[in-house]
Amino acid sequence: MKILVTGSAGFVGFHLTEKLLELGYQVVGIDNINDYYNPALKYARLAESGIERQVGGSGEMVQSEKYAGYKFKKAALEDEQVIFHLFESEQFDVVCNLAAQAGVRYSLENPKAYVSSNIKGFLNILEACRRHPVNHLLYASSSSVYGNSVQMPLSTSQRTDAPVSLYAATKKSNELMAYTYAHLFGIQSTGLRFFTVYGPWGRPDMAYFSFAKNIVSGKPIKVFNNGDLYRDFTYIDDIVEGIVRILKKPSLNESPPTKVYNIGNSSPVSLMYFIETLEKALGKKALKEFYPMQPGDVYKTFADVSDLENEVGYHPFTSIETGLNRFAEWFLKEGVGF
Backbone angles phi, psi at 201, to 5 degrees: 65, 25
User: Which residues are designated catalytic?
Assistant: 167
Number of domains in the chain: 1
Tell whether 109 is covered by a domain.
Answer: yes
Tell whether 220 is covered by a domain.
Answer: no
Tell whether 165 is covered by a domain.
Answer: yes
Tell whether 21 is covered by a domain.
Answer: yes
Mean pLDDT in runs of 10 for the chain (338 residues)? Answer: 97 98 98 94 96 71 96 96 97 97 86 95 98 97 92 94 93 98 96 97 95 97 94 97 89 85 94 97 96 87 94 93 98 94
pLDDT of residue 56: 63
Tell whether 177 is covered by a domain.
Answer: yes
CATH code assigned at 189: 3.40.50.720
Q: How far is CA 323 from CA 16, 26, 42, 200, in A?
A: 17, 29, 21, 9
Domain range holding 150?
A: 2-195+234-265+302-317
Among residues 297, 203, 252, which one has the least CA distance to residue 10? 203
Q: How far apart are the first and last CA of the chain?
A: 34
Tell whether 218 is covered by a domain.
Answer: no
Question: In angstroms, how far apart are the furthest CA atoms of the chain?
Answer: 55
pLDDT of residue 232: 94
Among residues 190, 201, 192, 275, which one has the least CA distance to residue 239? 192
pLDDT of residue 252: 73
Tell whether 123 is covered by a domain.
Answer: yes
Tell whether 204 is covered by a domain.
Answer: no
CA distance 231 to 320: 11
Element (H, E) at 235: strand 234-235
Vertex 165: Cα angle to 163 and 170 (nearest 5): 75
Q: How far is CA 255 from CA 138, 188, 259, in A?
A: 17, 10, 9
pLDDT of residue 57: 60
